[in-house]
């Protein structure tokens, strides 16, 4: 077995790299794939929190590199899905504790046992980014429809294109707000794709459910009713080669959706 | 008619409050998880060690007061360079003198059995010493702790240079340098770590 190594990166911080990582990883594992996620954000790890695994970490990637434990010992199994593992970052070291070569080596070793290796990249384009990209052959660039995020994504795409090892990269547009797009206050998906001229792999709507799911340490793909969860599930399917149409985010057309929007409108008015 | 409407409105608002309450629940979960995680980040204590510390504290304090053991709350608060351990336990009842003496005697007898040499020392000290010596895990975490504080600047600039010059060379070199750095870190770290523990201890004594 030779697994695919996909790095999830963005340039800008706070656009949802780690959330994307947790959700795509969980979705792929739910589909029966063996998945390992590597948090390379040394010193600022958070992937463990989003997965609710923060209390199970004994060894980190730095322990593996410094040979205090075996690679397999450091893999933390997910609570629900035995197909899903996490290799946590050390919280108390900086980006220099692991080198590109070492990360490449870890990815190669994991490729034997896993279908997918998802590498969570730190924000920025410095050594942390270089390390994360080192072992990967594919990339997902996460961005939001905001100027700063798009500009940084463009920079990242430029860097990825210069890397020989990266064979393909895709764009994931996060935190899309259909209402704002409709009122022409937010760049539309097409416009963003046009500007960055990259192939799209997912559109994730802004969803308050993300906040609660993060609070609980449970990725939102586990909530099948959530729109963002469905969108992430579709991304996973596309990664696996399925052709899935993009979700229609325009309007919640179900009866309950209409009732909800009517009442929230009403409550909103009363509060004023 | 108006009443009917307000009634309906209240029901609707009530429904939304329910939804909000659910979110508050997840907020509670988030706060609790964060507390634990931050405690781990600020110390070198793994979850198991934290539990150990908790139970030892309970053992220690329940000699003097009867407390609600399940409601014990440990919190590490960071104020600039200072770290303080805040401990909050609801006291159910004050013990009377006889009880306290009995508890102390019982413990002293136990200790005398365990280790004849250490009986002269303070109870607190013993508790903390076992904490320090016992666990291998804590050592590992200790190496890594320093980067947060003093080392970051020097290490960062060093390694930048390394990266520029040595990127193309074999990784062996950089590994060696890593381990060199580590030795320094280790020694520095132990001292800073002890300081932290002392602070915690002082705080404890005050309480």
Q: Indicate the domain borders of chain A.
A: 4-271
- Per-window interface: B 110-149 vs A, CB < 8 A: 137, 140-141, 144-148
Asked if B178 has any chain A CB less than 8 Å from its own CB, the reply is yes
Write the pLDDT tens digit of every residue in A216-267.
999 999 999 999 999 999 999 999 999 999 988 765 555 666 666 666 666 6
Asked if B156 has any chain A CB less than 8 Å from its own CB, the reply is yes
The pLDDT score that the predictor gives to residue B18 is 58
What pLDDT band is residue A126 in, cutting at 50, 70 and 90?
Answer: very high
The pLDDT score that the predictor gives to residue A262 is 67
Q: How far is A198 from chain B (nearest CA, A)?
A: 30
The pLDDT score that the predictor gives to residue B76 is 74
Write the pLDDT tens digit of every residue in B25-78.
888 888 888 878 887 777 777 777 878 888 888 888 888 888 888 888 777 777
Mean of the pLDDT values across residues A141-149? Answer: 95
What is the rounded average pLDDT for all residues in chain A? Answer: 91
Q: How many Å apart are CA B110 and CA B126, to the nearest integer?
A: 13
pLDDT higher than threshold 50 for residue B169 = no
**Superfamily for the A4-271 domain:** P-loop containing nucleotide triphosphate hydrolases (3.40.50.300)
The pLDDT score that the predictor gives to residue B113 is 85
Write the pLDDT tens digit of every residue in B76-133.
777 777 778 888 888 888 888 888 888 888 888 888 888 776 555 554 444 444 444 3
Our CA angle for B49, B51, B54, nearest 5°, is 110
Q: How many Å apart are CA B139 and CA B134, to the nearest integer?
A: 10
Please list the alpha-helical segments (H only) found in A59-176.
Answer: 61-65, 71-74, 100-111, 127-134, 147-162
pLDDT higher than threshold 90 for residue B184 = no
Asked if B9 has any chain A CB less than 8 Å from its own CB, the reply is yes
The pLDDT score that the predictor gives to residue A256 is 64
The domain limits of chain B are 1-42, 43-166+176-206
Mean of the pLDDT values across residues A149-165? Answer: 94
Q: How many Å apart are CA A231 and CA A137, to the nearest integer?
A: 24
Cβ contact (<8 Å) for B33 and A49?
yes
Asked if B166 has any chain A CB less than 8 Å from its own CB, the reply is no
The pLDDT score that the predictor gives to residue B150 is 41
Cβ contact (<8 Å) for B36 and A266?
no
Give the ipTM of the model, two decimals please.
0.72
State how far the alpha carbon of A248 is from the alpha carbons of A128, A176, A228, A258, in Å: 36, 12, 12, 16
Probe site for chain B from A96, A130, A209, A222 (most B CB atoms < 10 A)? A96
Asked if B183 has any chain A CB less than 8 Å from its own CB, the reply is no
Cβ-contact B150, B142 below 8 angstroms: no
Q: Which position has the higher pLDDT, B126 or A211?
A: A211
Chain B residues whose CB is inside 8 A of the A49 CB are 33, 37
The pLDDT score that the predictor gives to residue A239 is 97
Chain B residues whose CB is inside 8 A of the A99 CB are 171, 174-175
Write the pLDDT tens digit of every residue in A29-81.
999 999 999 999 999 999 999 999 998 898 999 999 999 999 999 999 998 99
Chain A residues whose CB is inside 8 A of the B182 CB are 66
pLDDT higher than threshold 70 for residue A209 = yes
**Which of A63, A94, A212 is the closest to B23 by Cβ?**
A212
Tokens representing B73 are: 């709350």
């Amino acid at each position: 077995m030779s697994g695919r190594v996909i790095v999830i990166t963005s340039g800008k911080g706070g656009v949802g790299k780690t959330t994307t990582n947790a959700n795509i990883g969980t979705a792929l594992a739910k589909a029966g794939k063996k998945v390992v996620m590597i948090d390379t954000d040394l010193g600022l790890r958070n992937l463990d929190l989003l997965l609710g695994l923060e209390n199970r970490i004994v060894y980190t990637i730095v322990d593996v590199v410094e040979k205090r434990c075996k690679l397999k010992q450091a893999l933390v199994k997910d609570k629900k899905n035995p197909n899903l593992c996490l290799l946590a970052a050390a919280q108390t070291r900086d980006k220099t504790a692991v080198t590109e070569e070492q990360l490449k080596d870890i990815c190669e070793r994991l490729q034997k046992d896993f279908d997918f290796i998802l590498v969570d990249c730190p924000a920025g384009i410095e050594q942390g980014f270089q390390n994360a990209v080192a072992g990967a052959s594919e990339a997902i660039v996460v961005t939001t429809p905001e100027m700063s995020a798009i500009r940084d994504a463009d920079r990242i795409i430029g860097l990825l294109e210069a890397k020989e090892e990266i064979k393909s990269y895709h764009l994931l547009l996060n935190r899309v707000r259909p209402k704002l797009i409709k009122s022409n206050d937010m760049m539309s998906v097409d416009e963003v794709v046009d500007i960055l001229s990259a192939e799209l792999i997912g559109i994730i709507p802004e969803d308050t459910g993300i906040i609660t799911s993060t609070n609980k340490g449970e990725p939102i793909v586990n909530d099948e009713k959530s729109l963002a969860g469905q969108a992430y599930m579709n991304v996973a399917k596309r990664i696996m080669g399925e052709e899935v149409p993009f979700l229609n985010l325009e309007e919640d057309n179900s009866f309950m959706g209409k009732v909800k929007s009517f009442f929230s409108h009403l409550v909103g008015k009363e509060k004023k | 008619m108006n009443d009917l409407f307000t009634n309906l409105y209240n029901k609707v608002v009530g429904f939304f409050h329910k939804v909000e309450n659910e979110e508050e629940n997840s907020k509670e979960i988030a706060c609790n998880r964060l507390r634990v995680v931050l405690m781990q980040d600020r110390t070198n204590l793994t979850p198991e060690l934290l539990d150990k510390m908790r139970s030892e504290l309970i053992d220690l304090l329940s000699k003097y007061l009867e407390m609600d053991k399940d409601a014990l709350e440990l919190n590490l608060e960071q104020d600039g360079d200072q770290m303080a351990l805040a401990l909050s336990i609801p006291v159910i009842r004050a013990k009377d003198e006889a009880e306290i003496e009995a508890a102390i005697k019982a413990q002293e007898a136990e200790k005398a059995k365990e280790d004849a040499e250490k009986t002269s020392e303070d109870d607190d000290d013993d508790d903390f010493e076992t904490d320090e010596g016992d666990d291998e895990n804590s050592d590992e975490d200790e190496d890594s702790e320093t980067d947060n504080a003093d080392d970051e600047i020097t290490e960062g600039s060093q390694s930048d240079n390394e990266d520029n010059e040595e990127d193309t060379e074999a990784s062996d070199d950089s590994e060696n340098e890593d381990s060199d750095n580590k030795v320094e870190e280790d020694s520095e770290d132990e001292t800073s770590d002890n300081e932290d523990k002392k602070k915690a201890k002082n705080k404890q004594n005050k309480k």
